[in-house]
Chains A and B, each alone.
Chain A
Amino acid sequence: MTDKTLAERSAPSLLECEINGEKVSLAVPPTRRLLDLLRDDLQLTGTKRSCDIGRCGACMVLIDGKPFNSCLTMAYQCSGKSVTTIEGLAEEERLHPVQQCFLEEGGYQCGYCTPGMIVSVKALLDANPQPTMEEIEEALSGNLCRCTGYGGILRSVARAIETGGAASNE
């Protein structure tokens, strides 16, 4: 690299972003996967690892309010953004309404897909509080439940819609 201007274009190894409402500065390689950063560096293990290629949705997080697969996202891609994980939904001891609906309707079996599922449902209802079945299916098509417990999951979503699950605890 002989070009001085270009040499200045290297992404910083310090990641500055917001995670669950807190500003953080993390010394991580820019290509570190967000999934590894959350689980291994920050011990936020609610975000689950499964397929590693963005097909299963177990690692779903919100970036600036939209659902993203944290296995597909690299640290530098989060720079200046706001990341919300499943740990960031509940307030103190009080579950987020979508979490509460999953609990009450039995929207899980083994529970491994549940954090990702809930994150996707929150993103959906924040953007569209009264989705049609078609819109629900589209929004959740990237979240797989290998127990095939979709009946309970759809019941939970229906209940979250009824009870205004998009509303946060605030």
Chain B
Amino acid sequence: MAMEQKEILRRPSVWQPRDPAEAVRLKEAFGPDAVYVAGSTLLRTQWEAGTAVMPPHLIDLASIPGLAGIAEQDGELVVGSLARLDDCRAHPALADKAPLLVEAIKQIAGRSVRNQATIGGNVVYRVGDAMPALLALDARLDWHDGTGSRTEDVSEWLRAPSAAPRVLTAIRLPIAEDAPTSNARRTFAYHKVGRREAFTPSLVTVAIAAASAADGSIADIRIAAGGGQTVPKRMTRAEDALLGKAPDARLLAAVHEAILEDYVPAPDPFAADSYRKKTAANLVVAALWKTFCRPAEARG
């Protein structure tokens, strides 16, 4: 008991669990007096800004072995939650099979922050700029709740986040394999608009993952939009309007309308809703136009 008192006096203390179950037990024991910490880059900005107070106990998830790997497994890419953003950005399997995610990560903060920040932290934040890409890629999340692992769709986490003391252990990305005989073409687009060209918080981010059939019609499409404090969401009305059709100027005008309605940005004192709605709609429609409507030679 004397040891216990000493530990508690030496605040703030850092706890280094050896597995996710231990991490959850620590969080259950300390409750609101503890926070999970991985790269701590976002937490530091909140502590410095005074929007959050450093609690007396930090639970260091980076101490858990085996959570930082990136591997292909049974037709999925499994990205450990503790993988640093810059390691994700540089990983050949991700560049090959999930270039949309790599493009999104490339535009998050600067390299030094990406050396420290983790993909899991970006997911748990819910408004991280990797999220629209993960939504468009139909990612799933592995959580450890202290007794076992459970997988949930990333859309579920964004729609109704559980507040249970659980640890995100991995992000699963389905690998889209094209049938070797088909002329189907997979395309993606990611666009982030902020106040500066680089190293800037986003105002609007959009991500598109699509597949077109041999006849030029859209066989499969997922469009996600977020940015700033807006929790990313799929633009389902726009997707429905596009499915099975070959986009032309008229269809894209309807898609533009659909996004203006579907995209509801979180309040921002410095950027009007109308501006951000228009930006999201313009980014999506411009990307679709470039991919599906420009003559093939212009696409290079």
From B9-17, B212-220, B232-240, B282-290, the one touching the partner chain is B9-17
Bound-state Cα–Cα, A90 to B77, Å = 43
- Majority DSSP secondary structure for residues of B touching A: helix
Chain A minimum-CB-distance residue to B37: A74
Find chain B residues with CB under 8 A from A60 CB.
Answer: 112
Determine whether the beta carbon of B198 is less than 8 Å from that of A57.
no
Chain B minimum-CB-distance residue to A70: B112
B25, B26, B110, B115 — most chain A CB neighbours (10 Å): B110
**Contact between chains at A120 and B112 (CB < 8 Å):** yes
The verdict on B58 contacting chain A, using a C-beta distance below 8 Å, is yes
Given contacts A67-B112, A141-B110, A142-B110, contact A10 B44 (CB under 8 A): no
- A9 is contacted by which of B18, B54, B62 (Cβ under 8 Å)? B18
A129 on the B face (CB < 8 A): no
Contact (Cβ within 8 A) A67 B15: no
Asked if A72 is at the interface (CB within 8 A of a chain B CB), the reply is yes
A and B contact pairs by CB, cutoff 8 A, 22 listed: A1-B4, A1-B7, A2-B29, A6-B15, A6-B25, A9-B17, A9-B18, A9-B22, A9-B26, A11-B15, A53-B48, A54-B44, A54-B45, A54-B113, A57-B112, A67-B112, A69-B116, A72-B44, A73-B40, A76-B14, A138-B111, A142-B112
Closest Cβ of chain A to B67, distance in Å, is 15
Please measure, in the bound complex, the distance between the C-alpha atom of A101 and the C-alpha atom of B260, giving whole angstroms. 51
Let me know if B14 and A31 touch, CB within 8 A: yes
Whether the Cβ atoms of B40 and A77 lie closer than 8 Å is: yes
Chain B residues near A55 (CB-CB < 8 A): 199
Q: Is A6's CB under 8 angstroms from B109's CB?
A: no
Q: Are A9 and B44 closer than 8 Å at their CB atoms? A: no
Binding site for B on A (CB under 8 A): 1-3, 5-7, 9-11, 13, 29-31, 52-55, 57, 60, 63, 66-69, 71-74, 76-77, 120, 137-139, 141-143
Interface residues of B in 260-274 (CB under 8 A from A): none
Q: Are A11 and B44 in contact, CB atoms less than 8 angstroms apart?
A: no
Q: Given B8, B40, B45, B111, which contacts A142 in the complex, CB threshold below 8 Å?
A: B111
CA of A9 to CA of B15, assembled, Å: 5
Distance between Cα atoms of A143 and B198 in the complex (Å): 11
Given A53-B44, A76-B60, CB of A9 within 8 Å of CB of B16: yes
- Residues of B contacting A63 with CB < 8 Å? 115
* Interface: B41 (CB within 8 A): yes
A55 CA to B111 CA in the complex, in Å? 11
Instruction: For the complex formed, measure the closest distance between the CB of A37 and the CB atoms of chain B, giving whole angstroms.
Output: 15
Closest beta carbon of chain A to B91's beta carbon, Å: 15
Residues of A within 8 A of B298 (CB): none
Of residues 175 to 197 in B, which have CB atoms within 8 Å of A's CB atoms? none
Q: Cβ of A5 and Cβ of B16 under 8 Å apart?
A: no
